[in-house]
């Protein structure tokens, strides 16, 4: 089942079961998808988002909530931090399984070998290839320094 249809079906199920936390998070996801589509119309893009665009949106939503939860915890607002963590858990249900550090290192090594990358100038090509192969499966902010270290 495509991601959009899965989210729509889960939204209906959350309405039926009166799961307000899940329902509000699923509605936030749907709104984020619609916002990106509307922004794309202004740029001359098509109406339909690709699955990689949808995964990118979900990844950004998780990252935003992690930052918010950290800020709430530092500010002593544990109930708000807990709400953010619950939203993260729900959003992550729609993301591919995250790779562990050994899998990330193996993927980086494979891409570097496949591309024949041998210096830092190849970092952009390596990162682009990693994104095309493993979108949503790894944190590319954390992978960047690993790739740079391997190419130096």
Q: Among positive and negative, which fits the CA dihedral 147, 133, 10, 34?
A: positive
Q: What is the domain extent for residue 118? A: 101-151
Question: What pLDDT is attached to residue 45?
Answer: 59
- 105/86 same-domain check: no
At 43, the pLDDT band (50, 70, 90 cuts) reads: low
* pTM reported for the whole predicted model: 0.74
**CATH (domain of 32):** 1.10.1510.10
- 16/75 same-domain check: yes
Question: What pLDDT is attached to residue 1?
Answer: 59
Question: In degrees, to the nearest 5, what angle opens at C-alpha 142 toward C-alphas 29 and 90?
Answer: 25
Cβ contacts of residue 86 below 8 Å, gap of 6+?
A: 21, 25
Half-sphere exposure at residue 92, Cβ-oriented, CA atoms within 13 angstroms = 16
pLDDT at residue 36 is higher than 80: yes
- 105/87 same-domain check: no
**CATH (domain of 147):** 1.10.10.410
Name the residue among 142, 109, 104, 102 with its Cα closest to residue 126. Answer: 109
């Amino acid at each position: 089942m495509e991601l959009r249809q899965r989210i729509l079906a889960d939204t209906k199920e959350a309405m039926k079961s009166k799961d307000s936390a899940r329902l509000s998070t699923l509605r936030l996801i749907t709104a984020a998808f619609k916002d990106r589509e509307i922004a794309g119309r202004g740029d001359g893009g098509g109406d339909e988002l690709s699955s990689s665009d949808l995964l990118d949106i979900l990844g950004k939503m998780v990252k935003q909530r992690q930052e918010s939860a950290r800020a709430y915890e530092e500010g002593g607002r544990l109930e708000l931090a807990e709400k953010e963590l619950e939203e993260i858990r729900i959003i992550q249900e729609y993301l591919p399984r995250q790779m562990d550090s050994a899998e990330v290192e193996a993927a980086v090594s494979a891409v570097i070998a496949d591309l024949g990358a041998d210096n830092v100038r190849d970092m952009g090509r390596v990162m682009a290839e990693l994104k095309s192969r493993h979108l949503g499966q790894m944190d590319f902010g954390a992978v960047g320094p690993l790739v740079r270290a391997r190419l130096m």
